Amino acid sequence: MSEQPPPAVRAQWSTTVTPVVAAVTTLCASTALSGVISGARWLGHAGVAVIVVTAIGLGLRAMRVPTLLVGVAQLVGLLFLLVALFTDSGVLGIFPGPDALDDLGSVLSDSVEAVRTGVPPVAETRPVLCLVVIAIGLVAVLVDTLAVAAGAPAACGLVLLCVYAVPASLADELLPWWSFVLGASSFAALLAVDGTHRHRLWRNRPALPTTGTGVGSPVAMVSSALVLGLLAGTLITWIGTVGSLPGGGNGGGSGGGLALKPFTKLRGMLDQGSNVELLRVRGLGNDSRYLRAITLPRYERDGGWVAADALPNNVPAGLALPLAPGDDGQGEVTRIEIEPVNYEDLWAPVYGTPRNLRDLPEGMFYDQAGGMVFSHSMRKLDRYVEDADLTQPSADQLRLTSTDYDEIDPVYLSADGIDAEVVTLAKLLTNNQQSVFDKTMALQKYFATTNGFQYKTQTALTSDENALKEFLFNSKVGYCEQYASAMAILARAAGIPSRVAIGYTAGFLSGDYRSITTQDAHAWVEVFFPGQGWVTFDPTPLADGRAYEPPYVSSDTSTRPSTSITTETVPTGSASTTAAPRSERPDPDQQAGRLGPGGSTDSAWPWQAWTGIGLGIVAVLLSILATAGGRPAARPFAIVAVLGAGVFLLSLLSWWLSALLVVLALSAIPATVRDQRRRRRRTALSSEDAATAAWTELMAESWDRGAETSDTDTVRTAARRLAKEHSLDDGSKQALRTVVNSVERSWYGGHAERDPELGRAFDEVVSGMRKSSPLDWKGRLLPRSVVSPQRKSKKPD
C-alpha cells in the first residue's frame, strides 16, 4: 500500500497550486485585450504583473502573514513594478521617491488621454502599457485574494468577466475565439483544482463528489456548464458591440447599415479634443488635393464598407510601380516628400497615382488595384518620397468615357445587399443623365446643403438596418463617414463602379511644408472611368475651407482644359521645430523592433531575446535529460538556464527587473537547497539507508527550529530533547518512538532490512513539529541547517 502525504503536506499543496492556477487563469483572461491593443509586447507586461503579484502572495503566505497585509504587499509590489518599468527616477530603480511619483503621474495622465482619444486597436505605447500593468495587476490581486485567501474561486468569475466585458464593449471586431477558449479552460481548471480539497460540505450535507470522472463529478459539471454557456452565448445572445461570440453571426440586422469598421479610427481622430500633427508634406505647392491612405472596395449587407480580404504581396513599394487601372502612364510626374511625425499605421499615404516610391523600408507593398501602399504590421515610417501623377481629366473627357469595366475587379460593381428604397432613389437621381460623369455629379449634388444636409461631427453612431435610410431620407445630418459611404452605395445602386477612400485633407501651409493633423482625417468617394482611372468626388459639405474641388467639378468644367502639374524639385529646407502635444509624442520604445499585430516585428529581434530563447531551449533539454534520461545532476544546470533566460527576457522590459530577478534567485538559494535535501532524504526512506536518512532529516528539522543537540547524545537522548523542545503531541511522540526503534535496529542491531512503518512514522513526526513549532520567515528563507549546519550524528561503524 502506497504511503499518502500527511494533511499538512496536502494543505501546503492547496496553498501553492491554487494561486499558481489562479495566476494562469488571470493571464489567459488578459488575452482578451488583444482585441483592443495591437502587437504582443503588452502581454509580456501583463505576465510580469501577474508573476509579481503571485510571487508576493506565495512568499508571504508561506510566512503566515495575515491576509490583509498580503493584499497590501501585493499592491505595493505592483507600485514598485510601475516605477521600475515606467520611470527613470526611482530610488535604486524600483522604490517610489517624489520624482518617480511625479513621472508616474505624467505617464498616468497620458494614459487617460490615450483612453479618451484612442481608437481600438490602439498601439502599445508607453501609456497604454502602463494601463495594462495597472489593470491586469489589480485583477491578479483580486483573483488571488478570492481564490486563495477567501477560498471562493467561483467568485473570480465576476472579476474575469469584467476583463472580457471591457474590450468587448470597445472593439468593433469580435474578440478572438482562442481567448474565450483559454479563459474558459483555465477557469474550469481553477474550479476543479480548488474543488478537490475544499468544498466537501454544503449546509452540513454531502456535496457533489469531488473526485472521479462520472456524471456528477466537478470536472464533468464545470465542463458541461461552460459548454452550455458558450453555446448559449453563440446561438442566443449578442455580446459586445458587433455581434455574438466567435462563430455566432453578426446579430446586427439585415442590411443597410453604416457600420464601417475601417472608419473607427477616423471617427476617433475627429472626435478627440486635441489636434495632433501627423504628417508634413513638401513639394505639393498650392495643390490642396486629398492624401489617400486606404480604399474600401466591398460593401456588405451587415458590415457596411470593408477592406479587401487579402492584399497582394507581389509588388514591393519601390521604383517603377506598375500602372494602375485606367492609367496610360503619360501624365507628368510630381515629386512629393512625405514626413510622418506622429503617424503610425499599416498604410503609407500617397497622392494621386504613384509611379515611384523611395526610402520606404523593406516589407512595404503596393496594391495596384486599390492604389494603396501597405505593410503587414504597424510601423513608424521615416521620410519617404513619392513620384506621383497628379494630372486630372476635364469634365468633357469624363463624359466621353465608355462603360467597359473589364480592367477592374467586379467587386467594384457589386450592389448586393442594398435596400430597395435606396436603389429607387439612385435611379430617380440618375435616370435623366446621359453619361456616367453626369450621373455621378447628380448623386453628389443630392448631398448639398440646399437639399437639407448638414455636416456635423457629433452624430449618433448607429449600425442597424435603418441607419442608411435614416441618413438619406430623414436626418440628413452626419460627417464624412456617412456622406462618403452613402454616395458610394448610391453609385453602386446606379451601376457605377465606386469605392470609399480614407485619408486626409490638405492640411495647412506652415513654412515650406503642409502640416496634416488628426483633424484633417477625411473620407470621400472614388469613381472609376475607363481610360482615366479612379477619380475623386467628395459629397461632404465641409465649410471650413478644407474641401477640395477638382477642376471637373467646378462650375466652368465644360470649357476648362485638363490640369497638368509640372514636376517640382523637393524643397530641402529644415523641418520646423514645432512640438506636438506631449501625450501624442512617439514612444521611443516603439521605434526599435517592437512587435506588431500577430507577433510580427518591424526589425530584427534584439540580442537579449535570442539569448533568452536559446537559454530556454537549453533549460528544456536539460530538464528532459534530468527526468527522462535519468541524469539528476543536470537539474541544477537546468535551473541556472531558466534563470538566465528570465534575466535576458526581462531585460527587454527593464534591466532593473533582471537585477531584481537575480537578487530574488540568490536569496532563494538557501531555501532551495534545503528543499532539495528534504526531498532527497524523504525519497531515501524507501532505500536500505532509510533509517539514517530519516534521523538526519529529523535532526535538520529540529536544528532549523533552533534546538540544540550534542555530539555525545544517544539517539534516545536526542529524541527526548526533540520531543520536549518542540512540544510534540502524544501521536507524534509515539511515531518518534517508532523512528528511534528503527534507527537503533539499523545502527546497533545489525538489521539492514527496511522498516515498513518508518515512512508513516517519519511523516507524522515532521507534521507534529510543523504544527507545534512552525518556522518563522527567517527560518524559511535562511534555514539554519544550510546556513550554519550542525555536526551530523553519524551512523556507528
Average confidence (pLDDT) over 529-534: 93
Q: By mean pLDDT, which of 571-585, 606-620, 661-675 is the weakest?
A: 571-585
CA pair distance 206, 315, nearest whole angstrom = 69
Pairing mode of beta strands 477-478, 454-455:
parallel
CA pair distance 71, 54, nearest whole angstrom = 11
User: Residue 591: pLDDT above 80?
Assistant: no
> Bigger pLDDT: 224 or 516?
516
User: Residue 429: pLDDT above 80?
Assistant: yes
Q: By mean pLDDT, which of 27-31, 38-42, 252-256, 380-384 is the weakest?
A: 252-256
What pLDDT digit, counting tens, does each position of 304-350 carry?
A: 788 887 788 889 998 889 999 988 888 889 999 999 998 888 889 99
Q: Give the contacts of 710 (CB within 8 A, at least 6 positions apart).
A: none
Q: What pLDDT is attached to residue 488?
A: 93
Complete DSSP assignment for 273-330 = SS--EEEEEES-TT--PPEEEEEE-EEETTTEEE--S----SSBSSSSPPPPTT--S-
Highest-confidence segment of 63-77, 217-231, 427-441, 764-778: 427-441
Grid coordinates belonging to 742? 528503527
User: Residue 43: pLDDT above 50?
Assistant: yes
CA pair distance 245, 264, nearest whole angstrom = 21
**Is 334 strand, coil or helix?**
strand
State the burial class of residue 487 (Cβ atoms within 10 Å of its Cβ: 0-12, 13-18, 19+).
buried
Q: What pLDDT is attached to residue 773?
A: 84
Pairing mode of beta strands 353-358, 384-389:
antiparallel
Q: What pLDDT is attached to residue 105?
A: 81
- Banded pLDDT at 474 (limits 50, 70, 90): confident
What is each CA distance from 735 to 657, 697, 731, in whole angstroms? 47, 15, 6
Count how many residues are written for the chain.
Answer: 797
> Bigger pLDDT: 446 or 232?
446
Mean pLDDT of the chain: 75
Q: What pLDDT is attached to residue 205?
A: 41
Q: By mean pLDDT, which of 22-31, 99-108, 670-679 is the weakest?
A: 99-108
Q: What pLDDT is attached to residue 271?
A: 59
The DSSP letter of residue 584 is G
Strand partners, 336: 386
Q: By mean pLDDT, which of 82-91, 219-228, 297-306, 592-601 is the weakest?
A: 592-601
Q: Report whether 390 contacts 535 (CB < 8 A).
A: no
Q: By mean pLDDT, which of 120-129, 141-150, 787-796 is the weakest?
A: 787-796
CATH number for domain 671-787, candidates 2.60.40, 1.20.120, 3.20.20, 3.40.50: 1.20.120
Q: Give the contacts of 104 (CB within 8 A, at least 6 positions apart).
A: 82, 83, 86, 87, 96
The DSSP letter of residue 572 is -
Q: By mean pLDDT, which of 229-238, 472-481, 665-674 is the weakest?
A: 229-238
Average confidence (pLDDT) over 134-160: 83
- Banded pLDDT at 119 (limits 50, 70, 90): low
CA pair distance 792, 728, nearest whole angstrom = 22
Average confidence (pLDDT) over 439-459: 86
CA pair distance 433, 400, nearest whole angstrom = 13
Q: Report whether 78 contacts 69 (CB < 8 A).
A: no
- Banded pLDDT at 73 (limits 50, 70, 90): confident
What's phi and psi for 281, nearest 5 deg? -120, 130
Grid coordinates belonging to 452? 437639407
Q: By mean pLDDT, which of 37-41, 310-314, 654-658, 706-710 is the weakest?
A: 654-658
- Banded pLDDT at 108 (limits 50, 70, 90): confident
Grid coordinates belonging to 762? 517519519
Beta-strand runs (E) in 409-537: 454-455, 477-478, 498-504, 508-510, 513-517, 521-529, 533-537
Q: By mean pLDDT, which of 238-247, 432-441, 532-541, 742-751 is the weakest?
A: 238-247
> Bigger pLDDT: 346 or 440?
440
| 157 residue type, one letter | G
Average confidence (pLDDT) over 702-706: 84
- Rounded to 5°, angle at Cα 231 from 226 and 235: 155
What is each CA distance from 586 to 342, 711, 734, in whole angstroms? 6, 70, 72
Question: What are the sequence ranges of the domains in the chain?
Answer: 7-202+210-247, 263-390, 671-787
Grid coordinates belonging to 112? 487617460
Complete DSSP assignment for 380-415 = ----EEEEEE--B--HHHHHT-----TTS-GGGG--
Average confidence (pLDDT) over 225-236: 44
Residue 757 CB coordination number (10 Å): 13
Among residues 281, 296, 483, the alpha carbon closest in space to that of 390 is found at: 281
CA pair distance 551, 496, nearest whole angstrom = 21
Average confidence (pLDDT) over 61-84: 82
Average confidence (pLDDT) over 276-280: 90
- Rounded to 5°, angle at Cα 354 from 351 and 360: 95
Q: Report whether 527 contacts 440 (CB < 8 A).
A: yes
Q: Would the pTM count as exceeding 0.85?
A: no
Among residues 120, 345, 329, 142, the alpha carbon closest in space to that of 241 is found at: 120
- Banded pLDDT at 549 (limits 50, 70, 90): confident
CA pair distance 162, 26, nearest whole angstrom = 11
Question: How much of the chain exceeds pLDDT 70, in percent?
Answer: 73
What pLDDT digit, counting tens, does each position of 563-575 carry?
A: 333 333 333 333 3
Q: By mean pLDDT, which of 9-23, 107-121, 582-596, 776-790 is the weakest?
A: 582-596
Grid coordinates belonging to 140? 491578479
Q: What pLDDT is attached to residue 665?
A: 79
